[in-house]
C-alpha cells in the first residue's frame, strides 16, 4: 500500500514523490501529473463527497477560506438547488 503522504509523522521528500509518481503512472500507462495537481485532486475528491469547504481549506493549509472557495466553488454547483429542496421540506 502506498502512503499518500497525508497525516504521516514526517513529510515525504519531493524527489521520492516524483519517483513514485513516475513509477505508478508508467505502470498504469497514464500521463503523469504534477505533484501540485494531487492537491487539486485531493480537494476535488473531498468536495465531491460532500466535505465542508472549511475542512478542505484546513487540509490544504489555506489561511483564508475565500482562497479555497475561489478555487473550488465550481465543485458545488447544486448547493442552491439543494438548499431550496431542504427549505421546501420544512413547510
**Nearest Cα residue to 47 out of 64, 72, 79, 83:** 72
Could you report the per-residue pLDDT of 20-40, keeping only the tens digit for each?
A: 999 999 999 999 988 889 899
Residues of the chain with pLDDT under 70: 1-8, 91
Q: Could you count the other beta carbons within 10 Å of the beta carbon of residue 53? A: 19
Would you state the pLDDT for residue 3? Answer: 44
Would you state the pLDDT for residue 41? Answer: 92
Amino acid at each position: 500500500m502506498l502512503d499518500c503522504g497525508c497525516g504521516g509523522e514526517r513529510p515525504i521528500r519531493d524527489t521520492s514523490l516524483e519517483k513514485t509518481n513516475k513509477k505508478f503512472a508508467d505502470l498504469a500507462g497514464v500521463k503523469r501529473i504534477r505533484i501540485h495537481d494531487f492537491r487539486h485532486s485531493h480537494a476535488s475528491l473531498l468536495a465531491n463527497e460532500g466535505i465542508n469547504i472549511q475542512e478542505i481549506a484546513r487540509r490544504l493549509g489555506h489561511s483564508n477560506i475565500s482562497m479555497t472557495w475561489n478555487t473550488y466553488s465550481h465543485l458545488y454547483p447544486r448547493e442552491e438547488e439543494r438548499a431550496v429542496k431542504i427549505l421546501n421540506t420544512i413547510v
